[in-house]
Amino acid sequence: MKILDVLEQEGILVDLKARDKKGVIEELVAPIARISGIEDDRLARVLLDRERLGSTGIGGGIGIPHGKLKDLDRLILGFGVSRRGIDFESMDGMPTHIFFLLVTPENSTGLHLKLLAQISRILKNETFKERLLAATHPSEVVEAIKEHDAAD
């Protein structure tokens, strides 16, 4: 499975305005809720509950808020960039700029872990991260991911 198999352009936000963890999650959830038809407060609650177990800020300016939702029939993926960066309680203590939001069905642990690993792996490429940070339109994010997926 490629990232673009589940990431819809409508779920990409290239200029997040939120200044804190809760705000970023709520902002990222809004388009995902519209796409999936699931209430945004329900999606945000699942992600914030997961954050209480430990931050999904993995360092290097990256956050991958994720969680599992009962009664979900497919994987949901969103993306966002915060130009100023926010305190996402990352492992390295640095501001977080790039966010991939992932919500999966409760019974799909294998798929959940596979996509988390794939996202983490592609974000190790500094040139790729720079392209994501420089994107001013969702189509630029899609193009960067498409080119990177083709290189794998």
Catalytic position from the list 66, 97, 112, 148: 66
User: DSSP letter string over 72-114?
Assistant: --S-EEEEEEEEEEE----TT-PPEEEEEEEEEETT-HHHHHH
β-pair type (62-63, 57-59): antiparallel
- Measured in residues, the chain has a length of 152
| 137 is an active site residue | no
How far is residue 39 CA from its own chain's centroid? 18
Instruction: Please identify every residue annotated as catalytic.
Output: 66
